[in-house]
């Protein structure tokens, strides 16, 4: 593989400030400094059997 390695973290937050707090308390201490944040505003609907 070539290029920059990427790692994905999933977090659930009720507002932007809570998301920033999660990033500051749990992700930054691991040494990650370059972030790309993608927000999903609506819950994913998963139907049984699919």
Q: What count of Cα atoms within 13 Å lies in the side-chain half-sphere of residue 12?
A: 3
CA distances in angstroms from 35 to 9, 21, 46, 47, 48, listed in the order given: 10, 14, 28, 32, 34
**pTM of the predicted model as reported, rounded to 2 decimal places:** 0.63
The tokens for 20 are: 């920033």
**Residue 6: what pLDDT?**
84
> pLDDT of 1-50, one tens digit each?
678 888 888 888 888 899 999 999 999 999 988 888 888 777 667 778 76
**Residue 21: what pLDDT?**
94
- On whether the CB atoms of residues 39 and 16 are closer than 8 A, the answer is no
**Residue 30: what pLDDT?**
92
**Residue 50: what pLDDT?**
60
User: What is the spatial distance between Cα 44 and Cα 4, in angstroms, rounded to a whole number?
Assistant: 29
The tokens for 8 are: 């994905």
């Amino acid at each position: 593989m070539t290029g920059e390695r990427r790692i994905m973290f999933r977090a659930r937050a009720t507002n932007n400030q809570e998301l920033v707090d999660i990033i500051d308390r749990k992700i930054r201490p691991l040494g990650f400094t370059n972030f790309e944040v993608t927000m999903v505003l609506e819950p994913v609907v998963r139907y049984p059997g699919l």
